[in-house]
Amino acid sequence: MRGTPISLRLRLIISIALVLIVILLPGSVIVYWHALHEVDVEMRAALAVGENTVHNAVDDAEEADSPLLRHLELLVADFDGNRHLRASLVGRNGQVLYQSTPKLPGDPAPEWFYTLLAAKPIKANLDLPYPFTHVGAIVLETDSHNEISEVWDDATLTLAILVIFCGLNALLVYWVTGRALRPLDAVSEGFNGLGAGNYALRVEERGPRELALLCRGFNQMAEQLAQAEDRKHRLEHQLAAVQEEERSELARDLHDEIGPLLFAVGVDLSVVQYDEAVRDTAIATRIESIRESIARMYKDVKAILGRLRPATLVDLGLLQAAENLVSFWQPRYPKVEFQLQVPADRFGMPTDDAIYHLILESFSNALRHGQPSHIDVSVTTVEEHILVSIKDNGTGLKPQRNAPGFGLIGMQERVQSLGGTLTVQNCATGSGVVVSARLPLPAAEGLTGASTGARARQAVQP
């Protein structure tokens, strides 16, 4: 499972940090060698100064008032508190007669840092001239603790400045890149909106030239998608109109041609049936059976006419058409309970026709394939939309290996032609199917209330 991708701004900051680290590595090596060199130079300079001090003091010994040994002790004591040298008076037998105490650093460096920079102490044995030859020698030894502490102070100060600089640099980069890349956030939100079907979104063309061109391209794409969506809706309206014309023409043909022919055949059979020559024969019984079949055929033709172009939808409205549809199916499925919650107000012919055919197709699919015992139809208005729900408690949808049927395609096309959305899925309870449609409420012919004039019809199991 892939994690959340890193933002572009964070990637830039990480890249800059890596570049700084790469630069700091050789810089740190150079600083280290420079510090070693400075410590060594400072120690040798301090040793040279100490040698001159000893030589000058010994040369002036003839003018000193103190005894010779005391004079040497005072000379060594002059090195007490020295930051870089330790002086020792060593007798001829190698015994240390007197030794100075160097100054301890006030803020000593960590031991690991001292180990990193400290070199082997440098010693200088200064043989004493006459009249001190019988006493011994003075030994000077370097002590780099104070110098390394100074280097440590400089390093921590430099590091603090570097950290502050890098922090400010990171904040500056984050702020600058945030302002520069802000159009990308708008474009990203715009793509999310386009994915949701909102083709009216536009982004402001600002930022660097490349991003401004990207925003302009996004706006052009959104405009083209909006135009394509508008053309699709117009084509769907035209297709629905053509389909309605074909259905109306087919209904007229059935009504004007097949209906009269069936009626004429029924009349002819009646004449033949009551003819004296066949009244009491077996032919009359056969003719009566044929008349009954023709009557059923005529009734079925009328039912087909009602499904092709229900006159009640035009004359009495959606509620009456839905009730007639229930009346059509109820005798055929007496064990099924139908529940209607449909407003008596009209939404306009295109919208009423789409809702009616949604109910018609949902009834047909549920009763023929789902074996339900209850079908619930609800048509309500919420703000500027019409919500249609047809729910049953049948066996539910089965996995489709092939393309969806023409009924579902027709439902989808009708809803999309009005600018709405349609979902067909199994109920959350796991039993049955729910067909849900969301249609825009026509401004001129919308409902005055969500339940104004609403009536319900319920047919229970006998």
Q: Token match 């109920």: residue?
A: 427
What are the domain boundaries of the chain?
8-169, 226-309, 312-397+405-462
Output the furthest CA–CA distance in the chain (Å, rounded): 180
Identify the burial level of 391 via C-beta atoms within 10 angstroms of its C-beta, where 0-12 means exposed, 13-18 middle and 19 or more buried: buried
**Alpha-carbon separation of residue 259 from 62, 288, 294, 359 (angstroms):** 154, 19, 10, 27
Strand pairing category for 337-342 and 374-382 = parallel
Among 207, 444, 267, 208, CA closest to 347? 444
In whole angstroms, what is the distance from residue 412 CA to residue 199 CA? 20
Asked whether this chain's domains 8-169 and 312-397+405-462 adopt the same fold, the reply is no
Query: What tokens does 455 get?
Result: 């009536």
Indicate if the pLDDT at residue 117 is higher than 80: yes
In whole angstroms, what is the distance from residue 49 CA to residue 356 CA? 110
In whole angstroms, what is the distance from residue 160 CA to residue 73 CA? 45
Neighbour tally for 400: CB within 10 Å? 9
Cβ atoms of 106 and 68 closer than 8 Å: no
Indicate if the pLDDT at residue 350 is higher than 50: yes
Average the pLDDT over each of 182-196, 253-267, 315-329, 332-346 and give the range with the smallest value.
253-267
Q: What percent of the chain has pLDDT over 70?
A: 85
Say what angle helices 68-77 and 8-59 make with each other, to 10 degrees.
170
Q: Token match 């059979």: residue?
A: 269
Indicate if the pLDDT at residue 1 is higher than 50: no
Please write the tens of the pLDDT for every residue from 368-400: 888 899 999 999 998 889 999 999 998 888 766
Average the pLDDT over each of 99-108, 172-181, 381-390 and give the range with the smallest value.
172-181
Hey, which bits of 131-273 come out as E strands?
A: 136-142
DSSP string, 216-228: HHHHHHHHHHHHH
Q: Write down the pLDDT at residue 454.
A: 39
Indicate if the pLDDT at residue 151 is higher than 80: yes
Report how far Cα 11 is from the mean position of its chain's Cα atoms: 18
| Region for residue 383 given its phi and psi (left: phi exceeds 0; alpha: psi -120 to 50; beta: otherwise) | left
Per CATH, is 312-397+405-462 categorized as 3.20.20.140?
no
For residues 299-327, average pLDDT:
72
In whole angstroms, what is the distance from residue 364 CA to residue 361 CA? 5
DSSP string, 186-200: HHHHHHHHHHTT-TT
Query: What tokens does 353 get?
Result: 């026709």
CATH architecture of 8-169: 2-Layer Sandwich (3.30)
Please write the tens of the pLDDT for every residue from 397-449: 876 644 455 567 778 888 888 888 999 988 887 788 999 999 998 875 444 33
